[in-house]
Structure 1
Amino acid sequence: MALPPPVSDSASGEKRAGTIQSVAMAARFLAILANSEEPLALSVLARRAGTGSSTTHRYAQSLVQEGLARQDPISGLYDLGPTALSIGIAALKRMDAVEVAARHMKQLAGRIAASGGVAIWTERGPTLVRWYRSAYFSISSLGLGDILPLDNSASGLVFQAFLPASLIDAARRRQPDPFRGAPPSAATLDEVREACFAELTGHLLPEITGQAVPVFDAQQELACVITTVTNLGQAGTPDDRSALFETAKAVARETGGAARFA
């Protein structure tokens, strides 16, 4: 959660740069509590917010009164309160990870020389539910609604790494023979899990590179996979991989999901 900019204790006037100062400050304290791995002492909260102890105490107590924060009666430490938790849960219920991932992938396809989209799991295997052509010259035979091979696509490897084997086996039986490759080894799937990334060149289509990264929801479960495919005759580059990772991080920040990669 991004923090609003520090507000000086000496600032006067209710409005600052088109925002209400008291709301901006309250949001800052809440963001600090949300980003902390443990409850915070008043002094730590003040230091991280860049405010004095009196201002911090005043805001913290106001947040406690509204249920947005709570204070342990014994230790005096502050943490998120029940109202803040309820708001967070409500926001997550309204968040569609696929739609968020699709919006970010559309932006990515407009920036790099690769097409990209979002794949979800169906009984027949990875299925492209969003697909965006590269803004650059693009030659690719993939399109919306396509089913991807389990063993011969980067997306297929990512799904295999994070889904139960029973689902994978059932989908493999439904895929046609030309789709079926050699199932990946346990070591290969371990590598995909560790890196949260898969890349294959010349497996799905000749002379192209497919890259895929998992997107997890707030319960740490696989929600979808974001993937890019280079144009015919082009190999993937480290810049493509970095761009895909940054997109996955942006999706995770917006949906509350885990970003397990560095």
Structure 2
Amino acid sequence: MPRRAAAEGDTSAAGEERGAQAIHRVLTLLEVFSTAGPSISLTELSEHAGLAVPTAHRMLRALQSRGYVTHDPISGHYSLGPSVMTLAQAVLVRGEQDRLLTLAMPHLEALRDQTNETTGLHVVLGNSRVCIAECVSPEVVRMALGVGRVLPLYAGAAGKALLSGMRDDALDAVLADGAPQRPGRPTTAEAARLRRALVVVREDGYATSDEEAAAGAAAIAAPVFGARGVEAAIAIAGPAARWSRTARTAAVPRLLATVATISEQLGHRPGGDNPRAARPRRGATSGTR
């Protein structure tokens, strides 16, 4: 009996060691992106990580299935995926975005109570946007993203509100007209339409969307400015059948007043250092219809 117990203990320890080794290999593979570049081929990844190509490929497929890496079928290169960004965002939220969340939460709750629709706070995350706070509608039929949900930056009212405050060079990098299509990047035609829509969003101070980010969903959103420019976007979203264009338009003054209050508390000076700061025409409609 003692010999059997010892053998079982040895087997368990060996299994734990193999599991730890596999974790270290995966982490080594991910760390390659921080030194070798943001977009790397399978061969380069395996060489830098000191792994056999088949081993690296198996690990990359597992990471890709969970969104930690993405694969471009045209170039064959791998890049870090949105799941890595979501983890990084969790750290950032505890730091520099603490104040933003503290200021925004009471306003998100008030807007939710006033409109009976879901309100959310969104920030830029690479070429995407992520919802970092949400107050869900009490209605049975409602729209809810969930905190931490990552969406393309170019799709939806919140995305357009965030893009409207970007400098031209940053906007060009996100849209990259003519570049190969990949997740989080619009086609050339979509980019052209979006550029036209952003002109109106900047004039009006807010954006609208109808079923752009999710089927059956409608939303309005406005940018929140800080001392350095656009810090976030506040969105109000609901089922398109109930959250109609008329209902959304009626809520615009509340939304604009809310983002103006938060922006002031964050140190934004209207018409000051930020050339992208919109001058709202209250009650107007904007964005891609």
**What TM-score, normalized by structure 2, do the two folds share?**
0.50
**In structure 1, what is the equivalent of residue 241 of structure 2?**
233
8 Å contact from structure 1 (residues 113, 136) kept in 2:
yes
**In structure 1, what is the equivalent of residue 10 of structure 2?**
none
Instruction: Give the partner amino acid of 2:165.
Output: F
| CA distance in structure 2 between the partners assigned to 1:111 and 1:204 by the alignment | 24
1:70-102 per-residue CA deviation (whole Å, 9 max, x = no partner) reads: xxxxxxxxxxxxxxxxxxxxxxx9992343123
- Pair 1:99 & 2:102 matched: yes
8 Å contact from structure 2 (residues 206, 223) kept in 1:
yes
Structure 2 matches for 1:75-94, cutoff 5 A?
A: none
Change (3 A) 1:220 1:191: farther
| CA distance in structure 2 between the partners assigned to 1:101 and 1:139 by the alignment | 21
**In structure 1, what is the equivalent of residue 121 of structure 2?**
118
**In structure 1, what is the equivalent of residue 74 of structure 2?**
none
> Number of paired residues?
169
Change (3 A) 1:185 1:140: closer
- Which consecutive residues of structure 2, in runs of 5 or more, have no partner in the other structure? 1-95, 271-278, 283-289
1:164 to 164, 167, 171: 167
8 Å contact from structure 1 (residues 127, 147) kept in 2:
yes
Counting helix residues as a fraction of each chain, which structure ranks higher? 2
CA RMSD across the alignment? 3.1
- Pair 1:221 & 2:232 matched: no
| CA distance in structure 1 between the partners assigned to 2:133 and 2:181 by the alignment | 21
User: Once the 2 structures are TM-superposed, how far is the Cα of residue 232 of structure 1 from its aligned partner?
Assistant: 5.2
- Which consecutive residues of structure 1, in runs of 5 or more, have no partner in the other structure? 1-92
| CA distance in structure 2 between the partners assigned to 1:207 and 1:228 by the alignment | 14
**In structure 2, what is the equivalent of residue 243 of structure 1?**
254
| CA distance in structure 2 between the partners assigned to 1:108 and 1:162 by the alignment | 22
| CA distance in structure 2 between the partners assigned to 1:129 and 1:231 by the alignment | 21
Percent identity for Structure 1 against Structure 2: 18
Instruction: Give the partner amino acid of 1:133.
Output: V
**In structure 1, what is the equivalent of residue 149 of structure 2?**
146
1:33-52 per-residue CA deviation (whole Å, 9 max, x = no partner) reads: xxxxxxxxxxxxxxxxxxxx
**What TM-score, normalized by structure 1, do the two folds share?**
0.55
User: Once the 2 structures are TM-superposed, how far is the Cα of residue 171 of structure 1 from its aligned partner?
Assistant: 4.9
Query: More displaced, 199-208 or 233-242?
Result: 233-242
1:204 to 213, 230, 238: 213
| CA distance in structure 2 between the partners assigned to 1:151 and 1:142 by the alignment | 16
User: Once the 2 structures are TM-superposed, how far is the Cα of residue 220 of structure 1 from its aligned partner?
Assistant: 5.5
- Pair 1:256 & 2:264 matched: no
8 Å contact from structure 2 (residues 174, 185) kept in 1:
no
8 Å contact from structure 1 (residues 131, 143) kept in 2:
yes
Query: More displaced, 228-237 or 119-128?
Result: 228-237
**In structure 1, what is the equivalent of residue 204 of structure 2?**
195
1:133 to 133, 136, 161: 136
Instruction: Give the partner amino acid of 1:210.
Output: A
1:100-124 per-residue CA deviation (whole Å, 9 max, x = no partner) reads: 1233112211221210111111114
